[in-house]
């Protein structure tokens, strides 16, 4: 085979075929041990025959670009014989001056071991004639994986075009379908599109105007064709120039309001209809290119944003109204809670004085009911006030030093009478290593524990209520504590557990009639725990009891 310069070139050529993923159908044949001379020669003959019969030009080079392999197709395509080509620089033989930078980039990629997929470019034959080629490049590696050269395959684009022209010759059914089907599909897309689709030449003159564009701009296609596209844009925005592509001059007469040179550009603009009215639109710009990549014009897709802008404005207004209503509600609740507490305190105070006086038994019973109802109403008023202050972000947590064990004992003392009245056992279980003093809002922590204990006692008919406190973690001067309130009460069904922390909500409607309450307690507890950057969880089994767990991280103090 006269077109091989050496057996080493054959070996490198075989390796190149093996390493090139573009040859999906090639046989996976590798070289044998050096001593197996017969097998080596057989495989060299195989690759030599393949290269000789290939229709594509195949050229092998060193990492410096020196030709060491040249098949017959390369001689037919470029005109240089194998003797003239081998040993010379491949770039000097074939490279036009305009492609010098491309060649340097390809050589760098080869040295880095990168495969170059097929791309369209130009090379010269031995007469200096420019050839349009499809070129791909693959590195050649030795047994250690080091790059020792490269294989370049070249295909004449004219051959491809000739085959395509032959398939699309006039009068053939294939050519007719090839022309008609894409045109019909494109026409259907343009006619049915909801967005305006407008094309323009490089000078900015409109060349097509689809039905959606006619409806959007209230202008017939015949009126739009030939006009500058800037004439349908708001004048201030139309004054902004845009570069359509590197290497193309700035379209000073076709300014689209997107000041970059990228192919795909998007932005909001204001457009003018034929009747003078304006509307907001979302503009998307793309370049229209031919197969070789040359820019032919501009494609503009415009979506009318009028309805969306109106919806956004309506949503903003409703949000402002809702926020104002929420603030007004919170302010009203806070004001009314203060107003109600004043006469309530008088009712409770006077009822307590009456209880100390000598009255008939029936009157004492009435006074006791008045005092109890007043206390319940005062508790509800306090809950409403707390909720309104939390919602209005008017509640601020305080940081004071307090003794944890003293707080827990006081909470037990407050809740115990109610538990004893129902025949329940109230237990306090604490870890021995709890921190002595903490920093935090002791009033709100007491409110959390009393609410949880009060609920547990209220919804437990028999058995016990237990308050457990344990330290989960201690880091530096901060302690992570878990407060658990467990009861043997009625429990909560799984489907109701997710919404028990919502305001004015209880597990089931009959519990309000049976046990009383407004359903605000757990909502307030949940919000207070959240304000303290903690978590509140519940585990419950119907008719067996519940466990509410508040996990809080508090600073320790001496």
Tokens of 557: 């103090």
Instruction: Mark whether 405 and 549 lie in a shared domain.
Output: yes
Q: Which of 304, 333, 366 is the last residue in one of the domains? A: 304
Instruction: Mark whether 337 and 203 lie in a shared domain.
Output: no
Instruction: Mark whether 417 and 538 lie in a shared domain.
Output: yes
Judge whether 184 lies within some domain: no
pLDDT given at position 182? 59
Number of domains in the chain: 4
**Which CATH number characterizes residue 352's domain?**
1.10.287.130
pLDDT given at position 519? 60
**Which CATH number characterizes residue 11's domain?**
3.30.450.20
Judge whether 66 lies within some domain: yes
Q: First and final CA of the chain: distance in angstroms? A: 95
Judge whether 18 lies within some domain: yes
Instruction: Mark whether 229 and 278 lie in a shared domain.
Output: yes
Instruction: Mark whether 11 and 110 lie in a shared domain.
Output: yes
What are the tens digits of pLDDT across the range 13-25? 444 444 443 333 3
Instruction: Mark whether 414 and 531 lie in a shared domain.
Output: yes
pLDDT given at position 339? 75
Q: Which of 356, 391, 426 is the last residue in one of the domains? A: 391
**Which CATH number characterizes residue 445's domain?**
3.30.565.10
Which of these ranges, 21-35, 85-99, 506-520, has the smallest mean pLDDT?
Answer: 21-35
DSSP string, 407-423: HHHHHHHHHHHHHHHTT
Instruction: Mark whether 298 and 279 lie in a shared domain.
Output: yes
Judge whether 177 lies within some domain: no
pLDDT given at position 20? 40
Whether the predicted pLDDT of 480 surpasses 70: yes
- Phi/psi for 528 (5° steps) reads -65, -40
Whether the predicted pLDDT of 238 surpasses 60: no
Look up the domain containing 484 and give its range. Answer: 400-556
Residue that the structure tokens 């090839």 belong to: 178
* 31 close to 7: Cβ distance less than 8 angstroms: no
How large is the average pLDDT for residues 93-104? Answer: 86
Judge whether 117 lies within some domain: yes
Q: Which of 304, 322, 357 is the last residue in one of the domains? A: 304
- Cα gap 69→66, rounded to integer Å: 9
Which of these ranges, 36-50, 135-149, 312-326, 507-521, has the smallest mean pLDDT?
Answer: 507-521
Beta strands, E only, 165-248: 196-201, 206-209
R_g of the chain computed on alpha carbons: 43
pLDDT given at position 97? 85
Higher-confidence residue: 301 or 33?
301
* 224 close to 207: Cβ distance less than 8 angstroms: no
**Residue 428 pLDDT level (bands cut at 50, 70, 90):** very high
Instruction: Mark whether 463 and 326 lie in a shared domain.
Output: no
Q: What is the 3-state secondary structure (H, E, C) of 10-62?
A: HHHHHHHHHHCCCCCCCCCCCCCCCCCHHHHHHHHHHHHHHHHHCCCEEEEEE
Whether the predicted pLDDT of 305 surpasses 60: yes
DSSP percent split of the chain into helix, strand, coil, nearest 5: 45, 25, 30
Q: Are strands 464-475 and 425-430 parallel, antiparallel or unpaired?
A: parallel
User: Among residues 521, 557, 517, which one has the least CA distance to residue 536?
Assistant: 521
Instruction: Mark whether 38 and 120 lie in a shared domain.
Output: yes
How large is the average pLDDT for residues 504-522? Answer: 53
Q: What percent of the chain has pLDDT over 90?
A: 20
pLDDT given at position 43? 53
Instruction: Mark whether 360 and 410 lie in a shared domain.
Output: no
């Amino acid at each position: 085979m006269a077109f091989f310069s050496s057996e080493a070139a054959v070996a490198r050529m075989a390796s190149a075929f093996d390493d090139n993923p573009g040859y999906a159908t090639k046989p996976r044949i590798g070289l044998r041990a050096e001593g197996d001379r017969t097998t080596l020669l057989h495989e060299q003959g195989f690759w030599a025959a393949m290269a000789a019969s290939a229709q594509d030009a195949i050229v092998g080079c060193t990492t410096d670009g020196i030709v060491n392999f040249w098949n017959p197709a390369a001689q037919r395509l470029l005109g240089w014989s194998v003797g003239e080509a081998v040993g010379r620089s491949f770039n000097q033989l074939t490279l036009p001056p305009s492609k010098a930078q491309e060649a340097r980039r390809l050589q760098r990629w080869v040295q880095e071991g990168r495969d170059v997929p097929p791309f369209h470019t130009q090379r010269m034959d031995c007469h200096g004639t420019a050839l349009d080629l499809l070129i791909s490049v693959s590195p050649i590696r030795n047994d250690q994986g080091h790059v020792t050269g490269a294989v370049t395959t070249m295909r004449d684009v004219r051959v491809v075009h000739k085959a395509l022209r032959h398939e699309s010759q006039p009068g053939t059914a294939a050519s007719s379908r090839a022309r008609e089907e894409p045109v019909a599909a494109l026409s259907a897309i343009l006619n049915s599109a909801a967005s305006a689709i407008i094309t323009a030449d490089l000078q900015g003159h409109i060349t097509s105007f689809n039905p959606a564009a006619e409806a959007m701009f209230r202008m017939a296609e015949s009126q739009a064709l030939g006009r500058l596209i800037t004439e349908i844009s708001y004048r201030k925005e139309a004054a902004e120039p845009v570069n359509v592509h590197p290497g193309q001059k700035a379209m000073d007469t076709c300014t689209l309001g997107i000041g970059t040179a990228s192919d795909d550009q998007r932005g909001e603009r204001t457009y003018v209809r034929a009747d003078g009215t304006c509307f907001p639109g979302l503009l998307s710009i793309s370049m229209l290119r031919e197969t070789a990549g040359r820019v032919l014009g501009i494609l503009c897709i415009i979506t009318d944003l009028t309805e969306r802008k109106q919806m956004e404005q309506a949503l903003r207004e409703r949000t402002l109204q809702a926020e104002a209503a929420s603030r007004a509600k919170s302010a009203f609740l806070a004001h009314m809670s203060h107003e109600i507490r004043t006469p309530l305190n008088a009712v409770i105070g006077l009822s307590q004085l009456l209880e100390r006086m000598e009255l008939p038994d029936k009157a004492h019973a009435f006074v006791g009911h008045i005092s109890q109802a007043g206390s319940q109403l005062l508790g509800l008023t306090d809950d409403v006030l707390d909720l309104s202050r939390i919602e209005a972000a008017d509640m601020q947590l305080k940081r004071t030093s307090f003794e944890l064990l003293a707080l827990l004992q006081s909470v037990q003392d407050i809740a115990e009478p109610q538990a004893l009245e129902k025949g329940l056992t109230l237990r306090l279980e604490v870890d021995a290593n709890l921190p002595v003093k903490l920093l935090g809002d002791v009033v709100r922590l007491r409110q959390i524990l009393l609410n949880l204990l009060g609920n547990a006692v209220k919804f437990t008919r028999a058995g016990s209520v237990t308050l457990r406190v344990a330290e989960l973690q201690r880091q530096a001067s901060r302690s992570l504590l878990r407060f658990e309130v467990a009861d043997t009460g009625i429990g909560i069904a799984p489907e109701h557990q997710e919404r028990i922390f919502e305001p004015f909500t209880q597990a089931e409607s009959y519990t309000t009639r049976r046990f009383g309450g407004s359903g605000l307690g757990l909502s307030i507890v949940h919000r207070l725990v959240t304000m303290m950057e903690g978590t509140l969880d519940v585990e419950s089994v119907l008719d067996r009891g519940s466990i509410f767990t508040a996990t809080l991280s508090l600073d320790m103090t001496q």
